[in-house]
Structure 1
Amino acid sequence: MKKIKVLVTDDSIFMRKLISDLLQDHPDIEVIASARNGAEAIEKVKQLSPDVVTLDVEMPVVDGLEALKQIMAHSPVPVIMLSSTTSSGSLNTIMAIENGAVDFVAKPSGAISLDIYKVKEELIEKILLAASSNILSLRRRKKEEKKAQPTKVPYSTIDLPAENRKWRKTIICIGTSTGGPRALQTLLTALPNSLNTPVFIVQHMPKQFTKSLAERLNSLCSFPVTEAAHSEKVKNGTVYIAPGGFHMEVEELGGELYISLNEDSPLKGHRPAVDNLFTSLSKIKNIRKIAVVLTGMGADGAAGIRKLKESGHTVAIAESDQTSIVYGMPNAAVQTGLVDRIENIEDIAEVIQQYTL
């Protein structure tokens, strides 16, 4: 098997050595070079054509975000960001994903993380995933401005938009992982300013990063986007993002909806988990649910789709393989046989509106 060629970029010589040593332990990875800042990374990408690049977010000369922009513009390659958990570091990481990074890994203890070994398995897993991701074909697709035509699944006979059933409320719930921040930006900014339904989102992401994600999306959308709080009363026209490290569930009390957060054990390695959110919503009656599964690794959300469909009154939408960075979670949802629509990310907002008229 051909080894994955990796370029490691960090302004600390200690970090470059530590990260390189960790990666070299894996039989399928070869660290072909290192760079001490973004400017060097840009040049070495051109010279060496690595399969994957790791970029530190905060670096002198040219920082990780600017280096990423230039790499994606001139020599596109899958990129994994390494970030501190500071407010500025997490916000820049969110913006990096918007600008083409496949994913990120949070450094355990700041810029010089001598305990980087703690995230060794996560880093290796994400490098392997990045090497097989859809990021380069998506860049070509965007550049050529060709709109792919995904497979269409017929509307469910129960949930046609023209149906005359009167619903007490409609809610939208979204689950996503790898590539999610960019997909969420595309979807949410295409929803109407007059959005009058609550939206619940589970994005696989650590603490602090979900807060930065909410703040970033809030700055781009015409309706409020916030990190959810425990016991918060749900408002129409507001988007709630599950905070990292907490499962988010929704419950009905006295005819009103409230958010419930808990630190129960991770589900399939995730907390928050999409399945927890979807399952909690399946228990709420006489409310139409629109469940959306976007790009991501794994199968989180598939079991929740089953629960929602068993309870009835649910429209299930999955992102297509043409626009997913990783077609794991959407594919798992599709494999249930319960998905009503498979759509490119840029079309999902329009489909949602068909069901919220």
Structure 2
Amino acid sequence: MEKIRVLVVDDSAFMRKVISDILTSDPAIEVIDRARNGLECMEKVKQLDPDVVTLDIEMPVMNGLEALEQLMLQTPVPVVMLSSLTKEGADATIRALEYGAIDFVTKPSGPISLDINKVADGIIERVKAAAQMKGRLKRHTLFNRLQMHKRPAPKSPPVANESRPAVSGHPPSPTIRETRTNGSLQKLVALGTSTGGPKALQTVLSAIPDTFPAPIVIVQHMPAGFTKSLAQRLDSLSAIRVTEVTDGQLIEPGTAYIAPGGYHFEVHQVNGQLRAHLHLQDPRSGHRPSVDVLFESVSRLTNVDKWAIIMTGMGNDGTKGLKQMKETGRVTSIIEDESTCVVYGMPRAAIQAGLADNVVPLDKIAEKLCMLLN
């Protein structure tokens, strides 16, 4: 079997050396070269055609974000970002995932992390996963470019005491009080995604109108410190409100709630209201937050119309939870089609388990969801 050919890019000679040593400790990986900045990275990608690039964000001459954007335009290649766990680092990481990076690894202690070996397994795991995506990356990058032209204008600041206007001629959705007093069931959409999820969430959430009549509860596999930046970015691009959920928060229509990294997210019924419950129980299949944990909590809700969405991601998180939802009540599922998945793991597991009611390409999921709810 041919080895995975990796280009390591970092402005620190120490970091280039130690990251290379980590990667070459795995017999399936070889480091074919190193680069000191984004400009060198672009030149060497053209010359060497690596299978994967590990890319630092903070570099002179041309930083990682600038290099990534140019790579995806000129010579698409699977990229794993190396990120700093700061507010600025988290914001840049979310932007990198939006530009087309496959995944990221957090440097434990800043740009020059003497303890980088703490995340050695994560670096190797993500590089191996990224290498499997080289074949479909050009098609997926083309899809992302098409989506860029559909991006909505940034959200305008809300005006006090002004109701949101209806979209496409539809009447405004009822308020929570109206929904509960007119005898209709509450509605809830539960969504799970992993690798490739930030970009996929942008595609879906930015296409949902502000009159959407249900809340959307979301698990995106992501470590602590990054989900708040993700929520803020998605909120700025979406007509509906997007927020990182807090414990005990009321779950309301027209809002998407993203589980904070490192916490399981459940939805409970409290005096007829839907509220968030966060906890630190053991990871499920290596994940916290876990899609299965969220879906299982939704399965226990009564007098609620439910929809479940599973999108791009490695593994099978969400399949057990969706199965429980199907066994305990009526739920309609939407599964992302293989043609648009960055990683066809979680969707494939749900389809193979016979749990897919609708298999839909990413750019049609919002349209299908709105149609089903209406």
Give the TM-score band, short-chain normalised.
over 0.9
Inter-partner Cα distance in structure 2 for 1:142 and 1:251: 36
Structure-1 residue corresponding to 2:138: 136
> 1:298 aligns to what SS in structure 2?
coil
Give 1:28-47 correspondences, 5 Å limit.
28-47=28-47
Please say if residues 10 and 35 of structure 2, whose CA atoms lie closer than 8 Å, have aligned partners that are also in contact: yes
Q: What root-mean-square deviation, in Å, do the aligned CA atoms of Structure 1 and Structure 2 show?
A: 1.4
> 1:40 aligns to what SS in structure 2?
helix
Structure-2 residue corresponding to 1:163: none
Structure-2 residue corresponding to 1:96: 96
CA distance 1:144–1:91, shift in 2 (3 Å) = closer
- The alignment status of 1:294 with 2:301, answered yes or no, reads no
Please say if residues 102 and 135 of structure 1, whose CA atoms lie closer than 8 Å, have aligned partners that are also in contact: no
Inter-partner Cα distance in structure 1 for 2:215 and 2:146: 35
Structure-2 residue corresponding to 1:149: none
Q: TM-score, normalised by structure 2?
A: 0.88
Structure-2 residue corresponding to 1:321: 338
> 1:126 aligns to what SS in structure 2?
helix
Inter-partner Cα distance in structure 1 for 2:142 and 2:188: 35
Unpaired segments of 5 or more residues in structure 1?
Answer: 146-165
CA distance 1:141–1:211, shift in 2 (3 Å) = closer
Please say if residues 174 and 202 of structure 1, whose CA atoms lie closer than 8 Å, have aligned partners that are also in contact: yes
Q: 181-190 or 229-238: which moved more? A: 229-238
Which structure's relative contact order is higher, taking Cα pairs within 8 Å and 6+ residues apart? Answer: 1
Inter-partner Cα distance in structure 2 for 1:22 and 1:49: 21
Q: CA deviation at 1:224?
A: 1.2
Q: CA deviation at 1:143?
A: 6.8
Unpaired segments of 5 or more residues in structure 2?
Answer: 148-182
Q: CA deviation at 1:60?
A: 1.3
Structure-2 residue corresponding to 1:151: none
1:334 corresponds, among 351, 369, 373, to 351
- The alignment status of 1:204 with 2:206, answered yes or no, reads no
Give 1:181-260 correspondences, 5 Å limit.
181-260=198-277
Structure-1 residue corresponding to 2:78: 78
- Kindly, what percent of the aligned residue pairs are identical? 52
- The alignment status of 1:304 with 2:321, answered yes or no, reads yes
Deviations 1:200-227 (A, max 9, x none): 0000001111011001001111221110
Q: CA deviation at 1:312?
A: 1.7
Letter paired with 1:16: R
Letter paired with 1:268: S
Inter-partner Cα distance in structure 2 for 1:223 and 1:272: 23
| Matched pairs, number | 337
Please say if residues 188 and 221 of structure 1, whose CA atoms lie closer than 8 Å, have aligned partners that are also in contact: yes
> 1:322 aligns to what SS in structure 2?
helix
Please say if residues 287 and 313 of structure 1, whose CA atoms lie closer than 8 Å, have aligned partners that are also in contact: no
Please say if residues 230 and 260 of structure 1, whose CA atoms lie closer than 8 Å, have aligned partners that are also in contact: yes
> 2:59 aligns to what SS in structure 1?
coil
Inter-partner Cα distance in structure 2 for 1:48 and 1:81: 19
> 2:338 aligns to what SS in structure 1?
coil
Structure-2 residue corresponding to 1:153: none
Q: CA deviation at 1:285?
A: 1.1
Give 1:28-177 correspondences, 5 Å limit.
28-133=28-133, 134-140=136-142, 167-177=184-194
Inter-partner Cα distance in structure 2 for 1:344 and 1:256: 33
Deviations 1:71-112 (A, max 9, x none): 111111100000001111111111111111111111111111
Deviations 1:120-158 (A, max 9, x none): 11111111111112323312556799xxxxxxxxxxxxx
- The alignment status of 1:278 with 2:280, answered yes or no, reads no
Please say if residues 203 and 242 of structure 1, whose CA atoms lie closer than 8 Å, have aligned partners that are also in contact: yes
Please say if residues 208 and 240 of structure 2, whose CA atoms lie closer than 8 Å, have aligned partners that are also in contact: no
Please say if residues 78 and 136 of structure 1, whose CA atoms lie closer than 8 Å, have aligned partners that are also in contact: no
CA distance 1:90–1:141, shift in 2 (3 Å) = closer
Inter-partner Cα distance in structure 2 for 1:93 and 1:207: 13
Please say if residues 228 and 244 of structure 2, whose CA atoms lie closer than 8 Å, have aligned partners that are also in contact: yes
> 2:250 aligns to what SS in structure 1?
coil
Inter-partner Cα distance in structure 1 for 2:89 and 2:74: 25
